[in-house]
Every structure is written in C-alpha cells, then in structure tokens.
Structure 1
Amino acid sequence: MEGQVVGRVFRLFQRRLLQLRAGPPQDNSGEALKEPERAQEHSLPNFAGGQHFFEYLLVVSLKKKRSEDDYEPIITYQFPKILDEVEKRHQISMAVIYPFMQGLREAAFPAPGKTVTLKSFIPDSGTEFISLTRPLDSHLEHVDFSSLLHCLSFEQILQIFASAVLERKIIFLAEGLSTLSQCIHAAAALLYPFSWAHTYIPVVPESLLATVCCPTPFMVGVQMRFQQEVMDSPMEEVLLVNLCEGTFLMSVGDEKDILPPKLQDDILDSLGQGINELKTAEQINEHVSGPFVQFFVKIVGHYASYIKREANGQGHFQERSFCKALTSKTNRRFVKKFVKTQLFSLFIQEAEKSKNPPAGYFQQKILEYEEQKKQKKPREKTVK
C-alpha cells in the first residue's frame, strides 16, 4: 500500500512536469497538455541547462496523519527546490509558471559547488531572485545529515560507520518513517566513494521483518512498534540503533576498536570544529561528509598506483603491495580486513576496468592530499 501511494505521487509529479515542459496550452486544440509525451519528445533539445534542473532525485517519505493510522507522502528532499517555486506560481495562475520555466531553460546548469541565480516576477510581489546551489559532489545530492546529527552523537555515528565499513548487520529503530529513511540514507552516504552492496531497506514492512534474521550483511530501518519482534529474533553481530533515544540496544562490542585510533580522533576532531556555526543543509552535509572522505583518502587513496595494466589496458590490483605501502601498522591491519569486503572489491573492479582514475570529488581530494604531503616533506627536513 505504501509503495502504491508513493508510486501515485511520482506519476502525478511526472505528468505535471511533462505538462510544464510542453509549454503553454494552445488556444485552439490544447494538444500540448493532452499529449505530454509527444511534446516532451520534440521540446527536450531546447532546454539546455533547464532540462537538468529536473533530473535530480526526490526523496519521498511517508508521514503519519495526526488523527488517523494512515500515512501521506511528503517530499523530504529535493535539489534544487524547484517544485516549491512552481507550486507557488500555480496557486496564482498557470500563466505565471511559464516565464519561470523559460528562465530555467535559459539558465546555465551550475557546476558542482556553484550557485545559479534566477530572476522571476510574481504579480503583487514584484521581481525576486532565486539562488540554487548545487552540492559539491553527487554523493550529497540526496542526503540530509541533520536527522542523523539530531538523533546520535559523533561517537555513535563513527561506530555505525565502522560497522558499515566491515559490512556488518545494522538495524535502525525509529517511530517516524521520515527519520528512518533520512538516517539510513545518511549512514550509507558516509561510505562514499564506496557503495553499500548488500540488503538495504530504509523502512522494513511487517511482512519482511524476517530480514533481520538474514545471515548476510544488511542495513535496514524498522519502526519502533516492531522493536520487541526484532529483539526476540535470533541475530548475530548486529548493531541495533535506537534513534528515538540515541542508544545502542545491541552491539558486537568492538565498534570503537575497528578503525585505527589516530584516524578515529581525526574524524571526531574535524566533526566538532565549527559545527555550531553551520546554517544551511549544504554546509552541514559537506562538514559531516568531509572527515569520512578524508579517512578513505588516507587509507586507500594510493590504490591507483597499485593497479598493474596489460597492453590491452586491463588492470590487475596488486593487493599485497598495496597493503604493505601503508607505513602505520594499525592502518595496515585495518586495510587488510577492508580489502576483503564487497565494498572494496566492487570499487577496485571498476578501477581495474578504467585506464585512468575517474575524475570526481574523491580523486580531487586524493590529489589535494598528495600535494599537502609533498609540501610537508621539505618543511620536515628544514626542521631536522
């Protein structure tokens, strides 16, 4: 039932979007509204940057109605926040929407981390300027870390990250469906540039509660009303997180010892610096994500140097040499476990196929880190 509701919302949004893309209805026939698919087919090439503004992920959650046991779908995340602006104009007149859409069509799509400003006129409100900032990298474009920070401490988030890195079983408990979905999205996003490759269910329906007995890794969200059923299930090596109270109801017990101590301290120090000064969701996302990206840069950022290539370009990862390259014993001990995970295997398989490291945020951070090390070496020699 919940999936059907979300599906209907998506289809309604899709129809509205196709109508808007098709342009104003014709006075004599109205064909632009009656046949949105045909209008989309012919008009898409003219959209330039505007087309891309509508090709970003919407996160739809189910919110419980106050007076009923039923749920209603709500959009909890969208980039950019175009639908709000479209709907505001729709309340006035359909005719007001089209100048706004034309502005989108003519606007250049912003580069990662950059902002585009749109000029728009609304009757009785005058001219207004709408600024839309694109996240620095796509791994943050569907994530909101605010809920995770509201429910858990930095230390707890770090322990969840450590469990996820070793591909353990993680269950999130919460009453609100939006809290579950947002927190589990955020937890998975901490693994960037790696991707969770196992069972992943933001909200487990009652019919699938047996999932928590699965012997393979999973990351799932369960409503609080099913807590006792989860607790009574036979589970091993599970981290059970109560988001309502900010506690761990079950754990393996070694979560604080999984990551190298020095790198754990680095993450916690970075997370704590200036957190209270952040105002926007984008600033919070970048602040939280950054230390975890830097962790992977320090641990596996040298991977490309240990892919040996044949004449045809096919690469072969030199695992033993890769691990030995780490001078820190604690870092090396952790990496020897991490390279055996599905997370790393899938990442390195893609790297073996590609002749050059993929351009992106992670590669950018690797290059910055290597440059910092080069600059640090001459200073150290001077001090000695």
Structure 2
Amino acid sequence: MMHQLGDEDCILPSKLQAALQQVLEERELILGQEAEQEGASPGHRSEQLSALVSEAFVRLFVELVGHYPLHMVEASSGTCELQRDAFRKSHPSRGMLQFLQLFMETQMFAGFIQDKELRKGGGGAGKGLFEARAAEYLESYPEPTGVNRFLKGLGSKMKFLQMK
C-alpha cells in the first residue's frame, strides 16, 4: 500500500521534474504524430510509448549519475571503486546535489554502483542504453576546474608519452 508523505513535489529537482512531466503529458501528442507519419498499428504504438517512457527515465538517470565514470578509481586490490564524496560534490547542477545525496543512500544506487565496480566502471563490449547515453553526456560534461583540470591534463600527457 502506498502513502503520500507530502514531499512528492519537492524531492525531484524542478528541472528534472518538469522535463519528465512534459514528456509524460505530451506522450499522446508525440505518439499521435508518429502514428500518422508511419501508419502504425496499436501494437506498434504501445512499443513506441514504452520506448518514449524508457528514454525519459534513462535521460533522468544520465543527468543524475552519468558522470560516475569520472570518479571510478582502481583500488589496490585491482577492483574499481567509486569516490563517493567527489562524485556527489562534482555534479554541475546545484539543484541536483540535494537529490543526489538522498539517492546515493538508496538500495537502487548501491546496486548500480556495485554493478559498475564489478564491471570495472561499466566498460566492455556489452554497453547498454544507459552507458551509451552516459558516454554522450560525458562528451558535453563541463570542463573540470582547479586540481581536477590539472589531473586530467596530466593523464592526457601520460597517454601521449605512452604513444611515442
């Protein structure tokens, strides 16, 4: 049984809440336009709706945690670990920081990170939709500042030296 706690309207940052709400409210309009263009059957329309809703939530999670690969480090044991404090503090959106702090305490986040740590940061041949969208997101991710910029530059120089 579900109960309202009264904080439902303020948990999600307003930017994400508005984006999700817009996609979900406009789903009929979006699907109607696609159906007219393609002459889609009702079964195809259901598949389109599922894809539309899935894409909306993938985008939400990419916006929230898509920067996780920047904070995966190799531990002395050879496994990858998330630098939790750096990860949480580095989100470019101040509005997301409070939600991210709450989200990081959930079982869903713990499972997500455990999967990424076991897969050495999500790399490998079996990249899914989230990893593909996260890679696209990281291409437009804000440039690091201060010490992070220095470390990123140092890493680039080391790769360059290895190529020689």
Please say whether Structure 1 and Structure 2 have the same fold, judged by a TM-score greater than 0.5: yes
Amino acid across the alignment from 1:365: R
Are 1:265 and 2:21 counterparts? Answer: no
Are 1:327 and 2:95 counterparts? Answer: no
Q: 8 Å contact 1:313–1:355 — kept in the other structure?
A: no
**d(CA) in 1 for partners of 2:47, 2:75:** 42
Q: Which has the higher helix share?
A: 2
> Corresponding residue for 2:101?
336
Q: 8 Å contact 2:27–2:49 — kept in the other structure?
A: no
- Which stretches of structure 1, 4 residues or more, deviate above 3 A after TM superposition? none
Residue 356 to residue 332, structure 1, CA distance change in 2 (3 Å): closer
3-state SS of 1:294 partner: helix
- Over aligned residue pairs, what C-alpha RMSD do you find? 2.2
Amino acid across the alignment from 1:264: Q
Amino acid across the alignment from 1:368: E
Aligned pair partner of 1:313 in 56, 78, 83: 78
> Corresponding residue for 2:9?
256
Give ranges in structure 2 of 5+ residues lacking alignment: 36-41, 144-164
Q: 8 Å contact 1:315–1:352 — kept in the other structure?
A: yes
Q: 8 Å contact 2:80–2:121 — kept in the other structure?
A: no
Are 1:368 and 2:136 counterparts? Answer: yes
**d(CA) in 1 for partners of 2:113, 2:72:** 9
3-state SS of 2:122 partner: coil
Q: 8 Å contact 1:326–1:332 — kept in the other structure?
A: yes
CA offset digits 1:236-269 (Å, max 9, x no partner) = xxx3xxxxxxxxxx41111111100011111112
Alignment of 1:138-149 (within 5 A): none
CA offset digits 1:125-164 (Å, max 9, x no partner) = xxxxxxxxxxxxxxxxxxxxxxxxxxxxxxxxxxxxxxxx
Q: Which has the higher strand share?
A: 1
> Corresponding residue for 1:292?
57
TM-score (normalizing by structure 1): 0.31
3-state SS of 2:9 partner: helix
Q: 8 Å contact 2:13–2:99 — kept in the other structure?
A: yes
TM-score (normalizing by structure 2): 0.69
Larger radius of gyration: 1
Give ranges in structure 1 of 5+ residues lacking alignment: 1-170, 172-238, 240-249, 378-384
3-state SS of 1:308 partner: strand
Amino acid across the alignment from 2:83: Q
Amino acid across the alignment from 1:322: F
